[in-house]
């Protein structure tokens, strides 16, 4: 029987966690779970209810409405990975908008939100053979994961990547606006009281500031394959 492991990929925003996690899951035949998309979906729901905005954060209302949220991944065979659905609606595109990016860290800092989604994430990965990326996968969701990676890159590099992605999609944003958002998310993610973004003691740090996507994937795939071989022998 083939040995399967749990791969936890954490790190800062716009470090390419989701891209490499998708590639790795496809190559290994594992399930891919984008936990950031889950928090974004909850944020989108709360924004539509006007419970969170640039000037509003109604934590009590957000907590009260959590039972009315269903977040699921539905596999898209054309894309080769699961797309996120919010109460039956495909919101894969909507959750990537800048407006959601500006609010997601605030919603994710609410303990009740994290508790709900962490429970779901643990359930998704209980049978191993999963690649999960986020902010607290190796520290909170799967502290016993066989392989933990921590992705990082310079602030300016990450902002440029995010800016290029948004411009290519047709969004009207400035680089300064994106850089400000990246810095704000870093601060909120690393200073929140509940499950802050930190590198697990047994994680391998991958600084991809100067790596191409091909170089990054090649390096991480070898690390994963070596770990699977090590555990199976």
Q: Which domains, ranges and CATH numbers included, belong to the chain?
A: 6-225 (3.40.50.300)
CA distance 202 to 156: 27
Taking alpha carbons only, the member of 156, 151, 177, 155 closest to residue 166 is 177
DSSP state letter for 49: T
**Residue 97 confidence (pLDDT):** 92
Output Rg (C-alpha) for the chain, integer angstroms. Answer: 17
Element (H or E) spanning 48, and its range? helix 35-48
| Binding residue ranges for ATP | 11-19
Please report, in tens digits, the pLDDT of each residue of the chain (233 residues total). 688 999 999 999 999 998 999 999 999 989 899 999 999 999 999 999 999 999 999 999 999 999 999 999 988 888 877 899 999 999 999 999 989 999 999 999 999 999 999 999 999 999 999 999 999 999 999 999 999 999 999 999 999 999 999 999 898 899 999 999 999 999 999 998 888 999 999 999 999 999 998 999 999 999 999 999 999 88
pTM assigned to the model: 0.88
Residue-level pLDDT at 81: 79
β-pair type (204-207, 81-86) = unpaired
pLDDT attached to residue 191 = 92
Q: What is the pLDDT of residue 1?
A: 65
Residue 174 burial (CB count, 10 A): 10
Which residues are annotated as part of the binding site?
11-19
């Amino acid at each position: 029987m083939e040995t399967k492991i749990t791969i936890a990929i954490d790190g800062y925003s716009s470090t390419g966690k989701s891209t490499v996690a998708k590639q790795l899951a496809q190559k290994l035949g594992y399930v891919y779970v984008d936990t950031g998309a889950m928090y974004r979906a909850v944020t989108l729901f709360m924004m539509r209810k006007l419970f969170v905005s640039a000037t509003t954060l109604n934590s009590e209302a957000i907590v009260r409405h959590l039972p009315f949220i269903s977040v699921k991944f539905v596999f898209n065979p054309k894309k080769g990975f699961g797309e996120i659905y919010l109460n039956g609606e495909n919101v894969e595109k909507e959750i990537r908008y800048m407006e959601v990016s500006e609010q997601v860290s605030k919603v994710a800092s609410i303990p009740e939100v994290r508790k709900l989604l962490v429970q779901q994430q643990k359930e998704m990965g209980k049978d191993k053979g999963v690649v999960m990326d986020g902010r607290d996968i190796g520290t909170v969701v799967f502290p016993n994961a066989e392989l933990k990676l921590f992705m990082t890159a310079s602030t300016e590099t990450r902002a440029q990547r995010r800016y290029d992605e948004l411009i290519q999609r047709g969004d009207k944003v400035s680089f300064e606006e994106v850089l400000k958002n990246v810095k704000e998310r870093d601060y909120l993610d690393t200073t929140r009281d509940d499950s802050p973004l930190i590198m697990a003691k047994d994680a391998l740090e991958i600084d991809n500031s100067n790596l191409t996507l091909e170089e990054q994937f090649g390096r991480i795939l070898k690390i994963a394959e070596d770990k699977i071989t090590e555990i199976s022998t």
